[in-house]
Every structure is written in C-alpha cells, then in structure tokens.
C-alpha cells in the first residue's frame, strides 16, 4: 500500500515541483509524515492500518522528488553525482538509524511512544525546509488545474534510458525485501533484519565515492559495474548455504546498490530539461516503485513458500539486472562523461 501510494503520487509531485516550487512539495511530504505518525496508534483495525500506510506513502512520493529537483538546481554539473551520492548516503543512514532506534524503542516503550517520536523527528525536517530559499524561477500559485494529470505529466521521454535501467535493476531489491526474511530463517539466521543491516552499511560506505566516480568516469560506466554487480549478487544468493556466505553476498549486493542510485539520478538530471526536472525525477521514481513491485510479486510467485524454490527465485530476479547491463553495453557502448 505504501509503495502503491508513492507510485500514484509521483506524477502529481513531479508536476507540482515544476509549477508551485520545490520547497512546497518537500514540505507536503514532511507534513504527511509528521501527521500520520500521530494517527497510527489511534487506528486499531487492519483496514485502518492499511489506509494509513497508503496515505503515508504520499510522503515518499513527494519529498524525494522535490529534494532531487532542488539539489539539481543548486549543484554544478561537475558535482551532481557526488551530491546525489551524499544525499543517498544520508537517506540510508536515516533508514538504518530509524530501524535500529525503532527496534530498541519497541522493546522498551509502548508503540505509541515509537510513533510519536517518529513524528517529532519529522518536525525538524519541516523546520529546515522553512529556512530554505526556493530555487524554481517563476513559480506559480497553487491551482486545482495542476492536479489534472495527462500522460506527458507522468512520463518524461528524455529520461527513457534511466527509467529502463532503474526498473530492471530494482527488481532484485524488491525480491530481497520480500524473500530475505524467509531465506534468513531457512539458513538459521535468527535476526531476519541482519542481511538488510549489512546491505545498508555497505551501501552507505560506497554511495559518496560512487557519486564522485560517476562525475569523473561517466554515469553509464558506473551503472555498467553496478548492474553487473547486482546480477552477480543475486546469482550468488542462489548458491548460498550458510550464514557466512549469506552475509558476504549482502556486502556485495549493498556495494552494487550503493553505486546504482546516485549514478541513475545524476544521469536523469543530465538528460532532462531544466524546466522539467521535477517531471524527469518523478519518472525515474516511478521506475523505482515499479521495479520494487515487480520484484516483490515475481519473487513471491516463484518462491511460493517452498524452500526448494529459493535458488530459482534469486536467479530469475537477477536476470533483470543482467538485462540492464546488456542494455547499457548495447545502447551506450561509448558513453561520454556526464553527458550523453
């Protein structure tokens, strides 16, 4: 429900980012996060919880779109990959830190305290945004007509290549989110979040350097390495038989994922028109959500709650990243630095 809401909201956030401004869109995402945290403890039904998860997804649909467009406005071309790597690094730190703190709070305090704390933290994001200067020239006042979406508001054709690569490489991550808890139990790893923790740490460690590498050697050159690394990591998972091998693959997968997203986002900004940056970023974020949904559904279907199917599930989802690698080799054999 969270991913579906984020997917649905991307075209709206992209259009609004290019019309009313980057900061208002970021504030909407932060405010939604702030409000929903207080409502979670009040709704005690499954239907109510799913509805809140859906509404919460709009925060993920708005905040990153506005953030990346804002970043593109203020960062010079030669530093885009580095800056996006830094943003990705802090995003990973936030998610990893949130999981760690949330797990500890869940053991020692009521769930209401956990949710209220998450909302309290979101206040600081709102305060930071309130002190920032809008970067969109000639921004417009909000109109209801801006909420009318056509196909051109959903998809920016100039960023088709990043859209394809993002979709294909993120399928593996969707599979990881879906299957790894069961695979952990199958291997006797009691902490079902350990793989994700190791993956996240490895991702954090490489994002900043990967962003700088994309500035120096070109976005596609970095993406060739990352897509091949994601594919090989998934194929390696299919042969894992113990916890040591399991966590080793988590490191390789995390490094590949950490290289992937900064290069894709920087490439997207390179290809997009300045006046359509919001739409371009929205297009690639749609690819992100789409890949995760495909990976989740496909891996669940291949696995079918049968431990004998783990290998074929990892192999099958890894093929998508391999296709992305081949696509980059064929379509962009001599990709110039930063610009196509």
pLDDT along the chain (340 residues), means of 10: 82 89 91 90 88 86 87 85 82 75 81 88 87 88 82 84 96 93 89 82 87 89 96 96 94 94 89 83 88 92 94 96 96 56
Q: Are residues 11 and 102 in the same domain?
A: yes
Q: What pLDDT digit, counting tens, does each position of 174-231 carry?
A: 999 899 989 998 999 877 778 888 898 898 888 888 888 988 888 999 999 999 999 9
Q: Are residues 107 and 177 in the same domain?
A: no
Q: Are residues 287 and 171 in the same domain?
A: yes
Q: Quote the domain boundaries for residue 83.
A: 2-134
- The answer to the question of residue 149 being in a domain is no
- The answer to the question of residue 148 being in a domain is no
pTM of the entire predicted model: 0.80
What is the maximum alpha-carbon separation in the chain?
59
Instruction: Compute how many other C-beta atoms are within 10 angstroms of the C-beta atom of residue 37.
Output: 21
Q: How remote is the C-alpha of 204 from its chain's centroid?
A: 13
Q: Are residues 190 and 116 in the same domain?
A: no
Q: Are residues 189 and 318 in the same domain?
A: yes
In 3D space, the residue among 215, 209, 309, 197 whose CA is nearest the CA of residue 253 turns out to be: 197
Residues in the chain, total: 340
Q: Are residues 195 and 74 in the same domain?
A: no
Q: What is the CATH number of the domain that holds 190?
A: 1.20.1250.20
Q: Give me the number of domains the chain comprises.
A: 2
């Amino acid at each position: 429900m969270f991913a579906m809401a984020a997917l649905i909201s991307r075209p709206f956030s992209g259009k609004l980012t290019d019309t009313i401004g980057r900061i208002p869109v970021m504030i909407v995402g932060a405010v939604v996060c702030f409000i929903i945290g207080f409502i979670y403890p009040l709704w005690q039904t499954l239907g109510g919880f799913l509805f809140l998860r859906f509404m919460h997804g709009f925060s993920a649909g708005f905040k990153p779109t506005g953030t990346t467009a804002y970043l593109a406005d203020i960062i010079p071309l030669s530093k885009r990959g580095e800056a996006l790597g830094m943003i990705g690094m802090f995003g990973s730190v936030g998610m990893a830190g949130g999981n760690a703190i949330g797990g500890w709070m869940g053991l020692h305090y009521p769930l209401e305290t956990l949710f209220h704390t998450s909302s309290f933290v979101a206040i600081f994001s709102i305060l930071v945004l309130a002190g920032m200067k809008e970067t969109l020239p000639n921004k417009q006042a909000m109109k209801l007509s801006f909420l009318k979406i056509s196909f051109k508001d959903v998809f920016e054709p100039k960023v088709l290549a990043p859209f394809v690569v993002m979709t294909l490489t993120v399928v593996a991550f969707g599979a990881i989110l879906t299957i790894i808890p069961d695979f952990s139990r199958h291997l006797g790893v009691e902490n079902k979040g350990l793989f994700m923790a190791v993956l996240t740490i490895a991702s954090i460690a490489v994002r900043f350097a990967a962003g700088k590498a994309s500035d120096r050697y070109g976005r596609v050159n970095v993406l060739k390495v990352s897509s091949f690394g994601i594919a090989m990591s998934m194929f390696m998972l299919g042969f894992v038989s113990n916890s040591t091998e399991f966590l080793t693959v988590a490191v390789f997968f995390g490094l590949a994922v950490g290289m992937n997203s900064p290069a894709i986002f920087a490439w997207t900004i390179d290809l997009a028109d300045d006046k359509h940056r919001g739409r371009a970023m929205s297009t690639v974020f749609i690819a992100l959500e789409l890949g995760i949904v495909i990976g989740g559904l496909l891996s669940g279907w291949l696995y079918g709650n049968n431990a004998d199917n783990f290998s074929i599930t990892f192999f099958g989802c890894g093929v998508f990243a391999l296709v992305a690698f081949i696509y980059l080799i064929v379509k962009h054999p001599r990709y110039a630095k930063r610009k196509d």
